[in-house]
Chains A and B, each alone.
Chain A
Amino acid sequence: MIKLKINGQERTWDGDPDLSLLWFLRDEVGLTGTKFGCGQALCGACTVIVDKEAVRACITSVSDVADRQVTTIEGLHPTGDHPVQKAWRQINVPQCGFCQAGQIMQAAALLMDNPKPSHAQIREALSGNICRCGCYQRIENAVHLASTGV
């Protein structure tokens, strides 16, 4: 039996310990904010924060995060008002929106680590997150805005 904390709540799993955190979150727990885009750590749609680090849930097994704290987009801020979320809305970042939870989690992790990233650092830190709709200019500007105060 694996125990972990998701958005502050205790969860257990006694199925296949190799099941990826992505499908555990989405199908077993019902937290569907974390998205499936590639399954191979290539797109970042599944990004969640484990302890303080952004990880790709699709290549992280449930056993890898035993006894750790997992934060998903649903748990980033109780009212959805994390500076990154607010900046995202102010700049009207999303088009289809499907990549955005992953982008936001990656950006939030970046700001934890580096509260005032340069544009080059933003581009570098988010280069693992694909947006097929092409919202990159706004993503970059929104991370910058979040870092300078929304």
Chain B
Amino acid sequence: MNIITNPKKLRGFEKACRVENVSRRSVLKGLGIAGSFVLAAPILSRPAFAAYETGAGKMPHGTVVDPRVFVAIAPDGIVTIIAHRAEMGTGVRTSLPLIVAEEMDADWSRVRVQQAPGDEVRYGNQDTDGSRSTRHYLMPMRQIGASARTMLESAAAKRWGVPATEVKAANHEVVHDATGRKLGFGDLAADAAKEPVPSIEGLKLKDPKNFRYLGKGEVSIVDLHDITTGKAGYGADVRLPGMKYAVIARPPVTGGTLVSFDPADALKVSGVEKVTQVKGWPWPSKFQPLGGVAVIARNTGAAIKGRDALKIVWDDGANAKYDSVAYRAELEEAARKPGLVVRKEGDVDAALKTADKVIVGEYYLPHLAHVSMEPPVAVADVKGDKAEIWAPVQSPGGTREDVAKTLGIPEGNVTVHVTLLGGGFGRKSKCDYVLEAALLSKELAAPVKVQWTREDDVHHDFLHTVSVERIEAGLDKNGKVIAWRHRSVAPSIASTFAANTVHQAPFELGMGLIDMPFEIANIQCENPEAAAHTRIGWFRSVSNIPRAFAVQSMVGELAHATNRDQKEMLLELIGSPRIVNLSSVKDPWNYGEPYSSYPIDTARLRRVVELVAEKGEWGRSLPKGHGLGIAAHRSFVSYIATIVEVAIDDKGKLTVPRVDTAIDCGTYVNPERIQSQIEGAAIMGLSLAKYGEITFKDGKVQQKNFDDFPVLRIDESPSVTNVHIVPPGPDTPPSGVGEPGVPPFAPALVNAIFAATGKRIRALPIGKQLET
């Protein structure tokens, strides 16, 4: 634990994320536990010890469980807790510190949260993605809080000369019940810092029945007031003295290069100061910049106007023929032929031959753009061999590494300040925009903000893949499914890292293909080849979107073919409550988690189906033109089921009167934020189902902004979304929340559309398919 001896400095803490402080760089530099207040004691990384094992230790730089890294107490009792993960709307900047406060018995109103810079040696892994933060950090944060509490209790016991067992922390003080003596955390801070950090194995964690904050959902996010008053500091809001504003014209085709440019007209624009080339890397190059021409100006508006006036000649390169219509046909052709077998149980070919009936569904899901509300943006200040970055990044540690490599300076010379993210959804895991700012700042020897316009964002995203999912299901004469072949064809995210990638990576195959939980005797999953022609990246829920769409649409198709209720069909396919045996799969991946802690438990999948059916009033009678659809999917080791009610008028106009979602995410911290994530997932699911499609022609993205890449608006949003959270068992490990809500939405929607209209949607987006 750190002791803050200068309360004046402390005042900046609670505002670390505010604009005005970000701009006062000297203050920011002085902020921090990471800076001048560190105790001399070396920080030892302690492995987390938990009742359940997680994959946290296998993440780059693993987990750090040390109260001296994460907690500081000032003499006035203000407790500062580090948030080391990035805030993009999930509430993690509040939830993780709240766990520490809970175990410390701190009073939340006297807790301040401070955002950690990118430093994984110090804080452990900081990649805020994969719906992992609570899953990996619930136990470590509890241990940090419990260690801090133990140190405070030991300090108090020593002060009073009583055994440590006689004292206990309660609401920001330590009390000795026998004598009624009390000491506040602030009074004890200096002594507590001298106490040894207790061993993790010996730590006493709080009995969950005494929790005041965890599991209650009564604490609002720490940035709430600032967000509602315009003070919250996003990447876009960083301002430094002498800062230049830049926008960049990038090659319109992935892998294209700059041939020549004429800056004359751009330089005539009022406010434009300079036009310069930005270095690009050949594709694929992970997250390195695409290169292009930068216009530097005194404000962003002038830079954009200047860029419009540039004359540029590009060489479009090898992807100049990428065409979405042709590519879809290619994927479909591949899906109709055998591909690499990635899971095999029984003999699917034989079973399909003997089947009484074979139902075939071929599903198409196009590229999607993230379009987080805040387009990519970053500020860099490079001076000599030192770089300071302010940016909305999901991977502060990775960004630091990449900035160091790109500039050729030691990683220790790079500081990455993590601002709030105006949405991320996976886009901000890739730091190309930060690297652009770093390169420009170095060249201009001045702080530079690189702002992406929405058009830049749509044109140069790391897109969600495009896929054809083809399922053949064989039924015996009793209507029982005896064979299941699923072929998934899609360009892989791995293609962004390595040229000539044609197969999906285990982490993609493990998202709803090879981990398909149905109890069927003959199963075969295949992955035919597909080459990428643009940058493919993680998009919230990743491959689970097409997989859940295909699998759960097929459940609806099978229910129809056998004249059964969708929910009954779904439960029959899930089969008996059991742990799914995946021994036939070479690399089952399992979201990086050990199967022992996070097996595929069909009892839990059944439970969310039954819960949503009960709470969502499955089977209720509906007005004409309405229909109900259901879908369930396990992803990010959580279990989700969704019921969607649709209403379709005689012109084919689709509205959604009601959505019900049940989620089992194990032990949880803040049910109110789970609810908001699931509400948001319904919007994103409806958005992608109705409209989401990025297409290419001549290698170029054809959409540009929210007019031709629409996302859902409030007037089309579901009238009501109800969220039903499964109460966790006492030892159920925490699992993902940010992503799992999205995948079941679209299939539940199309199943509902089928119920309402008899029309089966097999390709997204729905677009005009329902119009009559």
Taking Cβ atoms with an 8 Å cutoff, the residues of A that contact B are 15-16, 19-20, 22-24, 26-28, 30-40, 42-43, 45, 72-74, 76, 80, 85, 88-89, 92, 94-101, 104, 122-124, 126-140
Contact = CB atoms under 8 A, between A and B. Distances in A.
Contacts of A19: 271, 299, 301-302
Interface string B203-234: 00000000000000000110111011111111
A45 B684 CA distance: 18
A132 B371 contact: yes
Given A22-B301, A28-B299, A100-B228, 20 more contacts: A20-B301, A27-B298, A27-B301, A35-B236, A35-B374, A37-B373, A39-B304, A73-B230, A80-B225, A95-B676, A96-B420, A97-B422, A99-B422, A101-B230, A127-B714, A131-B373, A133-B373, A134-B681, A134-B712, A137-B720
Interface in B660-689: 672, 676-677, 679-684, 687
B239 A32 contact: yes
Given A42-B706, A92-B676, A27 B245 contact: yes
B717 interface: yes
Contacts of B714: 122-123, 126-127, 129, 131, 136, 139-140
Given A23-B299, A73-B229, A96 B373 contact: yes
B224 A38 contact: no
Interface centre among A26, A100, A127, A133 (most CB of B within 10 A): A133
B386 interface: no
Interface string B389-431: 0000000000000000000000000000000111111000000
A15 B373 CA distance: 29
Contacts of A80: 225, 228-229
Contact of A23 (B301, B374, B454): B301
B323 to A, nearest CB: 26
Nearest to B449: A27
A140 B229 CA distance: 19
A92 B220 contact: yes
Given A38-B706, A85-B228, A124 B373 contact: no
A110 to B, nearest CB: 12
Contact of B707 (A40, A97, A98): A40
Contacts of B684: 132, 134
Nearest to A120: B715
Nearest to B223: A97
Nearest to B224: A89
Contacts of A32: 19, 230, 233, 236-237, 239
B374 A136 contact: no
B270 interface: yes
Contacts of A38: 454, 705-706
A-B pairs, 6 with minimum CB distance: A33-B230, A134-B683, A98-B422, A96-B89, A23-B301, A73-B230
B319 interface: no
Contacts of B233: 32
A150 B682 CA distance: 28
B300 A36 contact: yes
A69 B243 CA distance: 28
A101 to B, nearest CB: 5
Interface string B241-280: 0000100000000000000000000000111000000000
A43 B221 contact: no
A121 to B, nearest CB: 11
Contacts of A15: 270-271, 298, 302
Given A94-B228, A97-B232, A132-B711, A37 B717 contact: no
B706 A34 contact: no
A134 B713 CA distance: 9
A14 B691 CA distance: 43
Contact of A43 (B269, B299, B706): B706
Nearest to A132: B373
Contacts of A129: 713-714
Interface string B298-312: 111110110000000
A140 B679 CA distance: 13
B420 A138 contact: no
A37 B683 contact: no
B300 A27 contact: yes
B705 to A, nearest CB: 5
14 contacts: A16-B271, A23-B301, A30-B239, A32-B239, A38-B705, A40-B706, A88-B228, A89-B225, A95-B676, A101-B230, A123-B717, A131-B373, A133-B683, A137-B718
B313 to A, nearest CB: 25
Contact of A96 (B230, B301, B423, B672): B423
Interface in B73-90: 87-90
Contacts of B424: 96
Contact of B300 (A26, A34, A128): A26
A33 B228 CA distance: 9
Contacts of A95: 89-91, 676-677, 680
Contacts of A136: 683, 712-714, 717
Nearest to A20: B301
Interface in B676-732: 676-677, 679-684, 687, 705-707, 711-715, 717-718, 720-721
B458 to A, nearest CB: 10
B372 interface: yes
Nearest to B684: A134
Given A16-B271, A36-B236, A43-B373, A97 B420 contact: yes
Given A96-B421, A123-B715, A134-B717, A40 B451 contact: no
A38 B126 CA distance: 29
Nearest to B721: A137
A28 B451 CA distance: 15
Contacts of B300: 23, 26-27, 36
Contact of A33 (B220, B231, B269): B231
A30 to B, nearest CB: 6
Contacts of B88: 96
A134 B682 contact: yes
Contacts of B711: 130, 132
B374 A37 contact: yes
Contacts of A104: 228
Contacts of A124: 715
B648 to A, nearest CB: 19
B302 A16 contact: yes
B292 interface: no
B375 interface: yes
Contacts of B45: none
A24 B425 CA distance: 29
Contacts of B375: 36-37
Interface string B416-459: 00001111110000000000000000000000000101100000
Contact of B227 (A24, A27, A45, A100): A100
A37 B224 contact: no
Interface string B495-523: 00000000000000000000000000000
Nearest to A100: B227
A89 B228 contact: yes
A98 B372 CA distance: 9
A92 to B, nearest CB: 6
A122 B715 CA distance: 9
A78 B454 CA distance: 32
Interface in B86-103: 87-91
Interface string B465-501: 0000000000000000000000000000000000000
B299 A27 contact: yes
Contacts of A36: 236, 300, 375, 451
Nearest to B457: A38
A38 to B, nearest CB: 4
A96 B705 contact: no
Contacts of A138: 676, 679
Contacts of B682: 134
Contacts of A73: 229-230
Contacts of A33: 229-231
